[in-house]
Amino acid sequence: MPTIKKHTSRPWLSEKKPFEGFVHHNTAFYQSTQWRRLRALKLSEQPLCEECLRAGKTTSAQMVDHIVPINKGGAALDMDNLQSLCNACHARKSAADK
């Protein structure tokens, strides 16, 4: 008796949305040793918020930001593409990037 083969493969289920892929990729990147090390180095070289410095203010930086975002083609591990920012400036930049 012939058995009708059931179609068990569901390609639409394994399809990854590109945006999700990006988020996962970035999360892995920000947890990487390479990034943590570079981030610490950047903050030790420039402990002040660069955006505030340009405005003549002295604020201690709380994070390291990619000048050209990684998902826009910016170099992830290039010191020249990094800047130290305080939370306020980073929030402003993130809002402006959108």
Q: Which residues bind Zn ion (CB under 5 A)?
A: 49, 51-52, 59, 86, 89
Structure tokens at 72: 């826009």
Q: Which is nearer to Zn ion, 4 or 96 (CB)?
A: 96
What's the closest the beta carbon of residue 42 comes to Zn ion, in angstroms?
Answer: 15
Give the shortest CB-85-to-Zn ion separation in angstroms.
Answer: 6
Provide, rounded to whole angstroms, the least separation between the CB of residue 45 and Zn ion: 17
Q: What SS3 string covers 11-32?
A: HHHHCCCHHHHHHHHHHHHHCC
* Residue closer to Zn ion, measured from CB, 64 or 86: 86
DSSP state letters, 56-81: T---B--EEEESS-GGGT--TT-GGG
